[in-house]
Structure 1
């Protein structure tokens, strides 16, 4: 069996292998999904170093991370070497054929850098990774909505997606003019404002023992070489959940689940809704503008 693209043919192997036993989803189902979703998924994969979370025998057999490009990759798979002290050659997924090829390698979950290969030290997004303490998804929703409100004050566009696991990612697309340390510093100051406003809900304490049931505002994705799960990527979890871009109205409602969008439901969802991230790159935030606005917000909080 094979998929034929414009100038590339990708051979498909073991398509009847069950990858998600609880849902009866086969490798063939996974490959068909990635072929179908390429049009909306590729804009945020293009020009980014890619790491794969591979499950070659299905999720019940466990998986492993792979960030190095492999010697057996065909020549049409783009590769890029990045890093300063340690140089690593990564694959880059720019085409539908590449997406299917990586999935055929068992790459169920695809993790991307937050910067593009042309400017690897200048991220084009600020990411808040919100995972709930002890299943408190209400705190995740509260934090996401608070971030959206604060982002608006800072002239930062705000987008949100499920992680396909336990939480949400809140993302501000950036103009990629600031380095990672400046983006991380902005994120830390934004988190500080939220923690001062709601000290009973949110925390910046790294150690779980110090959080006391509060939600940790995780900014660890905002570092050179750090990755996030790509939008529309599958996760190696029961039910075949997807890290799905969602509308803010869904965060405001009570029905949202961080693993609620799955391979079985995504097609019907996209038939009913436009891609919530289709205009992600239409307006880009500026770290300098946000910092200037944040200084005024901090003064107000202190008063």
Structure 2
């Protein structure tokens, strides 16, 4: 068996220079968070958001597994929708060592598919990304509750996560009975109906200058070969906030912030809660209702 050793280079490079957070700290974070993060990323193709310097210097997205990756890093071939057709070899973050290898690559945020590698045409997650037009997080929290009510009315169980950026993801676990195209069509219709019934606060308008102060119901992440930010992924923003699953009732908390927990503080939250609030999310999976 090949030893799974990750050689960490430039451990003292500051990825978040404003906070003194180094590459070593990112590496150690992925090692420490692996137990709760892996169930949410395992077997899902990864699109790597990488930074060769600091997050302040800007980064880039990379789908294809880098050359020289260890042979123990699992990958999956994802068809490209091009002519002529081809494939992309995505990393699968299936274990602690691979998460730490991603840190060695300067990957701050591993974005993942809503499908798993064994059935790339059958999503098991439905995601609504609530994107505020202005800094009004109370409106985002209200929008999340409206989406949750809509999901429940459709027979789906909603889960909420602050993204570590500006918004909230409302996620429903799915049984893998419908294709990606079916799921995307369903959620687009769902969002349009929800926005029509709450047109003072919600919108599906893509163009920002037409949204006014309304919250954008972004469902594009449910499309073919699209990705989402998974739970516990760090974000390339000041203080290294992480995407953090919530207990649903936390949406009622006026003090809730989308970037409330960071790479350095998330462990204390997990200790206080006694573990991951989403640890049983798969048990709530339901079949997507017919249109």
Q: Normalising TM by the smaller chain, what interval? A: over 0.9
User: Match of 1:52, SS?
Assistant: strand
- Alignment pair present for 1:121 and 2:117: no
Query: Which 5+ residue runs of structure 1 have no aligned equivalent?
Result: 1-5, 293-303
**Distance across 2 between alignment mates of 1:214 and 1:85:** 34
C-alpha distance in 2, partners of 1:158/1:71? 39
Alignment of 1:1-303 (within 5 A): 7-86=3-82, 87-273=87-273, 274-287=275-288, 290-291=289-290
1:7 is displaced (CA, Å) by 4.5
| Cα deviation code 1:171-206 (max 9, x no counterpart) | 001011101121112212221332232111111122
Partners of 1:41 and 1:10 in 2: how far apart?
Answer: 19
Distance in 2 between residues matched to 1:126 and 1:179, nearest whole Å: 12
* C-alpha deviation, 1:41, in angstroms: 0.5
- String of CA shifts for 1:72-113, please: whole Å, max 9, x gaps: 101001111111534211111111000001111111111001
**8 A contact 1:233–1:243 mirrored in 2:** yes
Contact 2:27 2:104 in 1 (8 A): yes
Count residues with an aligned counterpart. Answer: 285
Residue 217 of structure 1 aligns to a residue whose secondary structure is: strand
Deviations 1:205-262 (A, max 9, x none): 2222222221111110011110001210001111100011111122111011111110
- Compare 238-247 and 192-201 and name the one that shifted more: 192-201
Shift, 1:58, TM fit: 1.6
For 1:168 and 1:188, how far apart are their aligned partners in 2?
18
SS at match of 2:47: strand
Alpha-carbon separation, structure 2, partners of 1:82 and 1:105: 21
> For 1:291, what is the secondary structure of its paired residue?
coil
TM-score scaled to structure 1, two decimals?
Answer: 0.90
Report the Cα offset of residue 158 of structure 1. 0.8
Query: Residues 85 and 150 of structure 1: is their aligned pair in 2 closer, same or farther, counting only changes over 3 Å?
Result: closer
SS in 2 for 1:90: strand
TM-score if structure 2 supplies the norm length? 0.94
RMSD: 1.4
